[in-house]
Structure 1
Amino acid sequence: MIIAAWIIFIFTAIQLWVVLLNAIFRQPLPPCPNDFNPLVSILIPARNEEQNIGRLLKDIQQQAWQNFEILVFNDQSTDKSAQIVEEFSKNDQRIHLINSDGLPNGWLGKNYGCYQLAQKAKGSYFLFLDADVRISGTIIAGTIAKVQQHKLGLLSIFPKQMMRSWGEYFTVPIMNFILLSLLPLVFVRLLPFSSMAAANGQFMLFDAKTYRETQPHQTFRSNKVEDISIAQYFKKNGIRIACLAGNPSISCRMYSSFNDAVNGFSKNVIMFFGNSGMLAVLFWLITTLGFIPILIALPTKLIFIYLLMLVTIRIFISLVSHQNPLKNLLLAIPQQVVLSIFIIKAFLNKSKKAYQWKGRTIS
């Protein structure tokens, strides 16, 4: 028991160290030179996004960076997504709608949409955005400057997550807890190891030349977590990448209910642990039940330090993620319970080899 307690104590200390690194090294976006103005292709795959697509198009039009084209891939939507984009295109010739002619065998919908968009894009940079993302400030100019500054093939951002229901408060912060306590994001850019790779498909900015040479969405056409796989693939091939979190100029409301969040997160939660279900379960056990060996085997002073580390970890992750620290502290136990649901659901999906997403069966 004493050995287990010390392992848990040391692991928690490492988590705290990672969290503090993410808090200290925020990787701010630099200003973009005034004389640098390449064409940016903004590529948006959309399936039944009538509630979101118009807001995102308005956000893009209000950006300081105006040398862009917007291509929207209508992935067989059954709502008014296509009509909304067509209305925007009548008043802005930079906006174009591409309608899907069907999903080929061996492809997932979003991967195929991204691939089709890239084939028609003309820009020097490809910015893939999910339709439910909101952007503001000078996010496009800043990320272009960041790519130039570090000669990146890919820059990705984890948006600030907007939450309005208790179902979201129970679920959405969990991904930030895992990411920011296990991976110092600055290492994604500084270290060459593919294990230090992360990306978020909600915001992925590619150097177009690099994209055309690698064709990542075609390479990972059937991959359910293509964003992380692309990041790892780039690292393995010596292509520099970076991943940021906590930028207030990009936000997203990923899910509007508890069930949607469970279905969504369960498809990628295992990838946060190197696609190892065993490591995912071990992480859950340590972060949820680890206090038991600590209370049994360690002296009072170390118990106090351990509890202080747990609180500090939650507070700093919340601050970096622009979330409410008090709410995340109060909901820490329910969130850990929900994490177990994510993991169990992920195992069930794997055993069934299929699950439903946006009206499609994904295998």
Structure 2
Amino acid sequence: MIVFTYTVLVFLILRFTVTLFNFLSNPKLSAFRPAFASSVSIVITLRNEESNLLNLLDSIKAQDFTSFQVFIFYSAMEKQDEETVAQFCSYDNRFRMIKGDLQDLSWVAREATGDYLMLLDSNTHIHTGLINSMIYRLRVFKMGIVSVVPTPVLKSLRQQLVLPLSDFMLLNMVPLRLVRLFKTPVLSASNKDCLLLDAKLCFRNQWLERLDPAKGAADLLRLVKLDQQNAEVLLGNTFIYKCPKNNDAEALATAGDSLRLYFNGNLFVAFLYVFLVVVGPLIIFLVFDIKVLVLPIGLIFLSRVMIAFLTAQNPFYAVITHPLQMIMLLVVYIKALSSQLLTSGKQKTR
């Protein structure tokens, strides 16, 4: 029991150290206002979640950066929604609709003409300055890709319990400022919601064609680093927000995707993480004296407060809901495991 206790405490200290590093280094996208004389090709991936698409398109048109082309990439859409989006595109020839297999991005190299390639999820909303600021990071630091993690918009208690888990795992496992300094693929946690790439490097190295189908665009950062190019992961700050629908299944799926991504699909390692994060502190709380609990409680409290400030969340709610969020993390892992087992079972059957 002593060995187990020390293991959990060491793990808590390591997580706290990473969170503290992220908090002090403040890895947020900063503003850069002067416009660049460059062009950007934007690919918006639509996964039957068109409720926020028109808002996203309007936010792109409102950008201070005007030299862009937008491809709305979808596999299926309700007829009425498809007509609405087509009408929007008819008013501005910079916007186009392309229908196809969402896992196949090979067409982008043929259609995109911009100096930079931006990949956006349809359930995001961008604010003025995002494109310019991302181009600045890419050009000044000579990188192949910049990944920006959107700030989540939490509309319900259910989302408050599930959606912050992605940022929680990211910020207590990955020192984001070090991603740019080291080219090792080990430091390559990314997301598919907002990515900006150097188009020439992307098409020359065939990054889109080499993507792992199971990870999709989230696999781009690893490929960039494998080709010895610089990469960076930043928090969205006030530039981009994630606007998910009020749907329990969608929220759990989003957190599950992040869990698989951060552990490179290795659910055994993910189990060790979840066990040490959820079950470990619980066992210590039930067995030990209150005097011994001061250290783990303090580390957990300070970590949650720092993550809340980094992700523009209410620190009071983050601390109060932490126990429930940890229960949901266990639920997310179980669903991710069952989903993977079901998928592998179908593949063996075939």
TM-score > 0.5, shorter chain as reference:
yes
3-state DSSP class of the match of 1:80? helix
- Aligned 1:79-94 pairs, distance under 5 A: 79-94=79-94
Which amino acid in the other structure matches residue 124 of structure 2? V
Map Cα deviations across residues 232-270 of structure 1 (whole Å, 9 max, x no partner).
122122011101114111001234222222234324413
Contact 1:2 1:298 (C-alpha < 8 Å) held by counterparts: no
- Aligned 1:173-322 pairs, distance under 5 A: 173-220=164-211, 223-292=213-282, 294-295=284-285, 302-322=292-312
Partner of 1:360: none
Contact 1:156 1:242 (C-alpha < 8 Å) held by counterparts: yes
Partner of 2:26: 26
Contact 2:8 2:280 (C-alpha < 8 Å) held by counterparts: yes
Partner of 1:359: none
Which amino acid in the other structure matches residue 95 of structure 1? F
3-state DSSP class of the match of 2:233? strand
Contact 2:89 2:96 (C-alpha < 8 Å) held by counterparts: yes
Partner residue of 1:336 out of 322, 326, 343? 326
The Cα of 1:119 is off from its aligned counterpart by 2.8
The Cα of 1:29 is off from its aligned counterpart by 2.7
Cα pair distance change 1:81/1:48, threshold 3 Å = farther
3-state DSSP class of the match of 1:266? helix
| C-alpha distance in structure 2 between counterparts of 1:318 and 1:290, whole Å | 23
Partner of 2:158: 167
Cα pair distance change 1:250/1:289, threshold 3 Å = same
| C-alpha distance in structure 2 between counterparts of 1:180 and 1:91, whole Å | 42
Partner of 1:48: 48
| C-alpha distance in structure 2 between counterparts of 1:97 and 1:185, whole Å | 35
Partner residue of 1:346 out of 336, 347, 350? 336
> Is there any run of 5+ residues in structure 2 with no aligned partner, and where?
none
Contact 1:74 1:82 (C-alpha < 8 Å) held by counterparts: no
3-state DSSP class of the match of 2:106? helix
3-state DSSP class of the match of 2:63? coil
| C-alpha distance in structure 2 between counterparts of 1:354 and 1:62, whole Å | 44
Cα pair distance change 1:246/1:15, threshold 3 Å = farther
The Cα of 1:196 is off from its aligned counterpart by 0.5
Partner of 2:5: 5
Which amino acid in the other structure matches residue 54 of structure 1? L
| C-alpha distance in structure 1 between counterparts of 2:282 and 2:333, whole Å | 21
Cα pair distance change 1:354/1:95, threshold 3 Å = farther
3-state DSSP class of the match of 1:126? strand
| C-alpha distance in structure 1 between counterparts of 2:55 and 2:286, whole Å | 54
3-state DSSP class of the match of 1:201? coil
| C-alpha distance in structure 1 between counterparts of 2:91 and 2:98, whole Å | 17
TM value normalised by structure 1 = 0.88
Partner residue of 2:145 out of 154, 158, 163? 154
| C-alpha distance in structure 1 between counterparts of 2:281 and 2:37, whole Å | 54
| C-alpha distance in structure 2 between counterparts of 1:245 and 1:190, whole Å | 17
- Aligned 1:126-145 pairs, distance under 5 A: 126-145=117-136
The Cα of 1:346 is off from its aligned counterpart by 1.5
> Is there any run of 5+ residues in structure 1 with no aligned partner, and where?
104-108, 356-362
Contact 2:211 2:217 (C-alpha < 8 Å) held by counterparts: no
Contact 2:118 2:194 (C-alpha < 8 Å) held by counterparts: yes
TM value normalised by structure 2 = 0.91
How big is the alpha-carbon RMSD for the aligned residues of Structure 1 and Structure 2? 2.3
